[in-house]
Structures are given as structure tokens and as C-alpha cells.
Amino acid sequence: MEEIIGRFQLTGAAVSCRAYGCGHINRTFLVRTDAGRRYILQRVNRQVFPDPVGVMENVTAVIAFLAEKAPGGFGRLRLVPTREGAPYALDGAGEVWRAYDYVEGGVCLQAPESLEDLYQCAEAFGRFQSLLADMPAASLRETIPEFHNTPVRYARFHAALEADIAGRAADVGAEIAFALAREREAGALQRMRQDGTLPVRVTHNDTKLNNVMLDEKTRRALCVIDLDTVMPGLAAYDFGDCVRFGAATAAEDEPDTEKMGLDLAAFEALARGFLTGCPALTEAERRTLPLGAKLMTLECGVRFLTDYLEGDRYFAVHRPGQNLDRARTQFKLAADMEAKRDAMAAIMDRLERAGT
């Protein structure tokens, strides 16, 4: 680690480096220096991102765009250059490393704590999308091709089921049946993307609460982080994934699925926040936000189940069965969203009448 830390222009000499955060994808470390500075050091996951250098080009471009649009605000995220002035360093094994200034005074939530926090997080993701509205989508690479193409996610699920390399399919019949029963409707957003009903925008695509930094004192959003998946997408993806995580009554990997469901008050706070941050949505986009919540939840469940069937190769797992627990909570949540479809629609109508 010392060698890789030494490649970046840190202020002071590094005195400690430890694993940090709860991300499922990259290897993240917190580095402290004798000058009292903190940095986030990350190794970009090459299995997940086939072109990590392309990821860094995207991240650099988005940071530069935001710095121009919202200096000191959402543009505060800063990559620390290497001693040669590059935005990332390559190690001997060809791994891509980067360092960010730690966003001081910020906290990120692993679970919702208050409705106001939820409002702030959703407003942040909405504002993020608004700020990037005039960034040419074609200038960004697709860092993970077909990332939220749900039918493609299903195709990979079918392939995993067929191959059953870990011999696990026989034990998860109920989960498989749940996913298959919803395959046709799961493609609804993708169809509306293809036929032009929904506009393609620059979106974040991974809008978990722990990808927003809130001011630890005022609890207002400081900035959005985890920019690896910023690429062309739909508003419904960002709102949907935010609801999937933020309006859930249990943790993503809760083993007791009875605890999992949709919290409608949380849904309302998130919807109010997102619409406030992103006021220029089309009528079709607004209408499809609750559908986004359900489909992003279903898609995520299918991804967790696929990874379980493939022997846990994609998402970081810390115990056996964790991906299966994750898949089960997502399916339980999606089922509760089906039951609460009218209630979600009523909330959207109420917000519309209130001019949100």
C-alpha cells in the first residue's frame, strides 16, 4: 500500500491506511497523513468495470463539469492527482487506483435515519441530474454496458440458471419463480427508452443513500459521490434505485424478509426531494417514477440472485448466503410495491397538486 499511496500528491506523509466504507464494488481505504489530512484511496474493480481507464475519464469529465456548474457545492469532489499530474495511478498488476480528498464534515447514511435525511438525499440525486442536463451524453462512455437494461439482466439470469455452476438453483425455486413471473413487465422501462417515450439523460445510476454526503451538522446534502456509473440513463433509474434503498423498512441483506417492505412516508419524502431537485421532468418521466422504484428493485433482486447462482463473483459478500438474502429482500420489497401501487400513485398525484 505504501508504494501506491506514495504515487499521489497528498499533503503530509501517510500515517495510516485502513479499509473503509460499505461499498459492494471497489476496494476503499481511508488514508490519514501527519498534516491532519484524510483521503479516500480506491482500487477500481476490474471485474466489474472492463475499462477502468474509461471509468476514470468519465469521472474526471463529470467532476470538471460539476466544478464549473457548482463550484464549492456539488462540484466540491476532488480527485488528488498523482505526482505526474494524472488522475489515477496504475500499479504493477495493472490495477487502477485513485485518491479523493475526503469530504470533511460529511456523513453518509447506511440506512435511513429521518424523513428529512431522505428528502435531502433524493433532492441531491435530482439536483445532480439537473446539473448534468446539458452535459453531452455522447461524451460519456458506457462504463458498464447495458447497466440498467433489465431484459439483458434477465438474459444473464437465464444463462446463470442454465449453467448452475455453483449447484444452487435447486434450493431457490421460489425466488426463481418470483423473478420469472415478472419478466415481461420488467422490460417496460427499456421499451419506453427504446421507443422514445422516455428521454435519455445523464444519470448517476447507483443512487444508494451511501452515495450522498450530508453535512454532519446541518444534514444538508454536500455532494454526490461514487461517479463510476454516471452515464446515459433514465430519470426513473435514479429515482427508483433511491427508493429501493431509502424507502425500505429493512437492510438490503436482512435475513428475515418479514421485516422488509415499502415505507410510504419515506417514499413520499424521496419523491418530494427528487422532484424538487429535478423539476424539469416530462410528464411521462413523472408518471414512470413509481414504476422505476419497482423495476429497479426487481432488477437488483435478479442481479443478486444471478450472482448467488454464479457463486458470488460480482458483489462483495461477507458471509455465506448474503447474496441470496439480498435477492429475497428485494423480491419482498418489490411485492410490497405491487401491493402499494395505488398508494404510491396517490402520493405522486398529491405532490403534483401541491405544485412539487
Query: In the complex with ligand ADP, which residue's Cβ is closer, 101 or 183?
Result: 101
Q: Maximum distance among all alpha carbons in the chain?
A: 59
Among 5, 8, 14, 23, binds ligand ADP (CB under 6 A): 23
DSSP three-state, residue 150 = helix
Beta-ladder partners of 212 = 224
- 100 counts as binding ligand ADP under rule CB under 6 A: yes
The residues in 13-32 that bind ligand GN1, with binding defined as CB under 6 A, are 23-25
- 25 counts as binding ligand ADP under rule CB under 6 A: yes
- 246 counts as binding Mg ion under rule CB under 5 A: no
Nine cell digits for residue 80: 488528488
Question: At how many degrees (to 10) do helices 235-246 and 264-277 cross?
Answer: 150
CA dist., res. 222 & res. 207, Å (int): 15
**Residue 13: CB partners within 8 Å, gap ≥ 6?**
33, 34, 35
Give the contact letters, 139-178, x = binds to ligand GN1 (CB under 6 A), - = no. ----------------------------------------
Nearest approach, Cβ of residue 252 and ligand GN1 (Å): 6
**Residue 344: CB partners within 8 Å, gap ≥ 6?**
262, 264, 267, 290, 293, 337
User: How do strand 212-215 and strand 221-224 relate by DSSP bridges?
Assistant: antiparallel
Residue pair 334/345 in contact by the 8 Å Cβ criterion:
no
Binding partner selected for residue 263 from ligand ADP, Mg ion, ligand GN1, none, CB under the kind-specific 5 to 8 Å limit: none
Binding partner selected for residue 40 from ligand GN1, Mg ion, ligand ADP, none, CB under the kind-specific 5 to 8 Å limit: ligand ADP
Binding site for ligand GN1 (CB under 6 A): 23-25, 48, 206, 208, 211, 226, 229, 241, 252, 300
Binding site for ligand ADP (CB under 6 A): 20-26, 28, 40, 77, 100, 102-103, 106, 108, 210-211, 225-226, 228
